[in-house]
Amino acid sequence: MASLAEDKGKGWWSACKRNMSAATVDLAELESHATCLRSYESLFIPGIFQSEDYTRAIFRVSDVVTTPADIDSAVEFRMRRQAVLSAEDPPTVHAVIHEAALHMRFGGSAATRKQLLRLVELAELPHVTVQVLPFTADGVSAVNTPFCLIASHDGCLETIQMDHASHSMYLHDPDSVARYRRHFERLCGVALPPVDSGPTAVNRDVRDSLGLIQHILYSHY
């Protein structure tokens, strides 16, 4: 715990405290120290996977930031958060994304198509797993709020992060962490198999996450 206190505020995010909310800065700090990120999203592509155009379109229709300068700062901050994906020792990232998020259009057809292609590209990374939860999923856990489980500082700190309309919530108590871990495991169990763009995936006669993303790409965009 002493090392956590020493690390507090050290990093690129510390220079953004004047422009970004405390919760947003805390999220960037947790991600930078993360060993594992597990998230569920229902209407958006996870922020750590978002393209710049997609992110900008979201902030333009958001009440969180209103001026062009604030939008630019928010977009830049989110893009910088994504550096953890290409770090020397990146965290393992596992995202379950509801099919509804793949249909939501932010920035028009071109931006949405680019975002879906980026999602497939990132899913090819060895430390990234992407599963799609289809509309037809059976026995879905009663979870209607997106959340992210963050294991950081070599796993000694586990945090649940949830976004609400006006603020972000962080939970650290063991009971909440265990409950959301079970939620995530159930979501993984009913979601489609992960994106696999390898040569064998093309010939596999099974409905999987890649197939659904491609279907939406080629039939809608």
Parallel, antiparallel, or unpaired: how do β-strands 128-133 and 92-98 relate? parallel
The distance from CA 59 to its chain's CA centroid, rounded to whole angstroms, is 16
Task: Select the more confidently predicted residue: 56 or 219.
Answer: 56
Residue 154 lies in a domain: yes
CA–CA gap between residue 45 and residue 58 (Å, rounded): 11
| The two three-digit tokens of residue 200, written as one number | 């064998």
Q: The domain spanning residue 122 has which CATH number?
A: 3.30.870
Q: How many CB atoms lie within 10 A of CB 34?
A: 23
Overall average pLDDT of the 161-171 stretch: 82
Whether pLDDT at 1 is above 50: no
Per residue in 83-125, pLDDT tens? 999 999 999 999 999 999 999 999 999 999 999 999 999 999 9
Whether pLDDT at 55 is above 60: yes
Residue 16 lies in a domain: no
Residue 5 lies in a domain: no
Q: What angle do CA 165, 170, 29 make, to 5 degrees?
A: 105
Domain range enclosing 118: 23-220
Whether pLDDT at 218 is above 50: yes
Task: Select the more confidently predicted residue: 2 or 45.
Answer: 45
Residue 3 lies in a domain: no
Of all residues in the chain, what percent carry a pLDDT higher than 90?
Answer: 69
Name the residue among 22, 40, 21 with its Cα closest to residue 160.
Answer: 40
Q: Is the pTM of this model over 0.85?
A: yes
